[in-house]
Structures are given as C-alpha cells and as structure tokens.
Amino acid sequence: MDKLWTRDFTILTFGSVVSVFGNALASFAISLMVLDYSESVFLFVLFMVTFNLPRIFAPLLAGPLLDAFSRRKTIYTMDFVSAGLFIFLFFLLSGGFFNYPLLLALTFFKGTVDSIYFVAYESLYPVLVAKGNFRKAYSVSSMIMPLSAVMMPVAAFLYDTIGVAQILLYSSIAFLVAAVLETQIRVDETHLREDGEKYRFSEFTTSLREGIAYIKKEKGLQVITAYFFVAMFAFSSHSLLLPYFNETPGLSVMLYTLVMGAAVFGRFVGGAIQYKVELPKEKKFMIAMTVYIVSSFVEIGFLFTPVVIMAILMFTTGVLTVTSFNIRMSSTQDYIPDETRARYNGAFQMIMTLGTVSGQLIAGALAEVIPIRAVVVIYGTIVLMAAIFIMWRGRRHVIPIFNRNV
C-alpha cells in the first residue's frame, strides 16, 4: 500500500487547517456582532441563511466547470479572495462602520467563495489519496473542522477584548498563508482539458444535467441524498442555539462555546479513532444507521438537561457522527468516478444547502412565536423519521455503497 502522507496531501491538509482556523475565528466573531447589533433571533438567523444561500446554486454551477478545469488553482484562488475580503472588512469595521444590508451582501459573497472552494476541495482531495488509504484520509479530513472548535472560546474572548476588526485581520493572514501553501501543490490533474480547447456554454448545461442525472440513476445515491436533505433541514435548528444560550438565564455565550466545543472535540476524537481502527466492511451501514438514530434522540432531548450533561451528550454524538461521516464520505467518493465527482459533489452540496436554508428560515420564524427548545424538539423528531422512513427503508440500495473496502 502506498503511503498516505505524500507531499501534496500534506500541503492540502495543512493549508485547510490554517484556513479553517481563520474562517472559524472570523465567522463566530461576526455572528456575535450581528446578534449584539440586531438583538433579533430572526435577523441573526437571516444572516446565517444569507451565508448559506450561495451554496444552493454555486456548487451546481461550479461542479461541471471543475470537472473540466483546475481544482488546484480554484482552491488557492478562493483562499486569496477570502484574505482580500477580510482585509476589506477590517478597514471597514476599524472605523466603527456597521451596516446590516452591506454585511449581508458581503456575507453572500463569502458564502459563494466558500461554496466554490468546498466543491474544488472535495473533488481534488480523493485524487491526492493513494489507493487503499481512503479510510485514513477521510479520518484526517473529519478532524480538521473539530480543530476549529478551539477558535470559538478564543473568538468570544477576543471579541470582548480587541474587537471584531482585529479578529478579521488575523483571519485574513491565515487565509493568505493557506493560499500560498496551496500554490505549491503539484498534482497531475488528468481530468483537465487540453490547452486551447474552449468550454462552450452548451457543454456546461449538458454537464449540469448529467450531474443531476447521475444521482437519479443511482438508487443508493438517491436515498443518501434524500436523507441528508432532511437531516440538514433538521440540524439547521442549531442556528438557534447561540441566541438560546445568550438569552436563557443561567446560560451564556461562553457556556455555548463549551457545549459546542465538546461536540467538535468529540468529532476530533472520533476521527482519531477512525484513523487507527478499520471498521468491518459488512457492518458499516448498520453502524451509520445506529448513529443516525442515536443522534436524533439526543437532538430531541439535550436542551432539557443540565449543561454538564449537554456537553457529555454533544461529545458522544460528536464521536458517533464523525464515524458515520467517514463511512459516507470515503465510500461515496470511492464509488463515484473521478470524471463525475465534481458534478456529483456540486449537486449534492446544492441539495444539502436547500435543506439547511429552508430549515433555518422556518426555525427562525418559529422561534419568534414558540420557545426555541420546542423548535429543536420538532426538528429532532423530523430527522428521526427521516432515518427510519428514508435511510432504513432504502437500505438495500445504500448497503452496496456503504459496505465497501476503501
């Protein structure tokens, strides 16, 4: 078996860690600023929805293009753009300027940049993984986002001490470092078109249809996509947790960072376990299914428990959900041909974002008329029903995809 930590894989992983740290620091600080200025749960949720909106169309547009053009160049270009955007916001906010509509517009732009980046990243990542290393590679990938958890309490502390403008300056430096690192990737992108060959719009629309058609013809991918659409809808209720902790007596923003930090620390631990332990091929679907059921029950009840129990439950589901993430990502990315991967990832991300955005909007509206805990219970019940009536009922189509040696 070839080694996992090749030069290009190491560069992409390290660059991703740096950019994720910068993104997490800036995003949490800006979220706190919006919540303080707006003093409205709905306006806070609208800000988050605006960030996610581009993920409806941008991945679908980017997918076909990235199946023809350089994913490597796209990754570092998007990080350079993010660095420039945060520098601009730094100068804007340094003068004490705050304009909610302008911030929404810039957030929409950042969401577009991130959407394109993630399609390129998810499509390039498998190419840098040597055969037989998919399980370990996606264990590493699943640990990157949890590492950003340390930025939540740091962002909360820095927000109160140095202000959001300085935080954005540090974030722009992080993106700049990541982009420079990523320019050094030297992967041979075999999907690229030959020099001089033009990409006609008619081919683009054809490729776009092919991306959707690929999901339609694959029954297993249909079931997976349908379940995760509903799951993303339901788990979007987490957008209400920061306002809930901020407004509820006995709770606070710092306690929110600790509880959510426990969840992401759990994902980090789960990723480390996945890196070392190879799951039995024939049991992968049942393991994933168990995670979907357990995490649904936790979702329904965790806000009714003391903070310490919340943190324990979040840590536990973090360990479990990264296991199911690893199963889904490693198996589907190995299952899908390289020449189709970006189109599939683009279409999948678009559908997931439709679930997230619609879920956030409805959750924000419901939170204006009923308690936030009630909204979370309703959403948790929805994802439980999806696990039973979509994923379990469609198991015969999903098992051949999940139960693979990767």
Q: Output the CA torsion sign for 280, 333, 119, 104.
A: negative
Q: Identify the pLDDT of residue 200.
A: 54
Residue % of the chain over a pLDDT of 90: 33
Mean pLDDT for the stretch of residues 176-184: 91
User: Which whole-number Å values give the CA distances from 51 to 17, 207, 310, in the listed order?
Assistant: 21, 26, 27
pTM, full prediction = 0.72
Read off the pLDDT of residues 313-326 as tens digits, 9 standing for 90 and up.
999 998 998 889 88
Q: Identify the pLDDT of residue 148.
A: 66
Rounded to whole angstroms, how far apart are CA atoms 331 and 339?
Answer: 16
Q: Identify the pLDDT of residue 68.
A: 65
Of 20, 269, 275, 338, the residue nearest 152 (C-alpha):
20
The more confidently predicted of residues 231 and 204 is 231
CB burial of residue 109 (10 Å; 0-12, 13-18, 19+): middle
User: Which amino acid type is present at position 136?
Assistant: K
Above 90 in pLDDT, residue 310? yes
Read off the pLDDT of residues 341-385 as tens digits, 9 standing for 90 and up.
777 877 787 788 889 989 988 998 899 899 999 999 999 999 999
Q: Identify the pLDDT of residue 147.
A: 65
Mean pLDDT for the stretch of residues 219-247: 92
Q: Rg for the chain (alpha carbons), in Å? A: 21
Of 31, 33, 2, the residue nearest 131 (C-alpha):
2
Read off the pLDDT of residues 278-300 as tens digits, 9 standing for 90 and up.
888 899 999 999 999 999 999 99
Maximum mean pLDDT: which of 63-77, 87-101, 364-378:
364-378
Above 70 in pLDDT, residue 150? no
Above 80 in pLDDT, residue 152? no
Residue 1's pLDDT band (cuts 50, 70, 90): very low
Mean per-residue pLDDT of the chain: 84
Read off the pLDDT of residues 8-45 as tens digits, 9 standing for 90 and up.
888 888 888 888 888 888 888 888 888 888 777 888 88
Q: Identify the pLDDT of residue 2.
A: 61
Give the H/E segment covering residue 325: helix 307-335
Helix H, strand E, coil C: the string for 185-239 is CCCCCCCCCCCCCCCCHHHHHHHHHHHHHHHHHCHHHHHHHHHHHHHHHHHHHHH
The more confidently predicted of residues 337 and 362 is 362
Rounded to whole angstroms, how far apart are CA atoms 387 and 229?
Answer: 11
Residue 196's pLDDT band (cuts 50, 70, 90): very low
Above 80 in pLDDT, residue 143? no
Contact criterion met (CB below 8 Å) for 60 and 346: yes
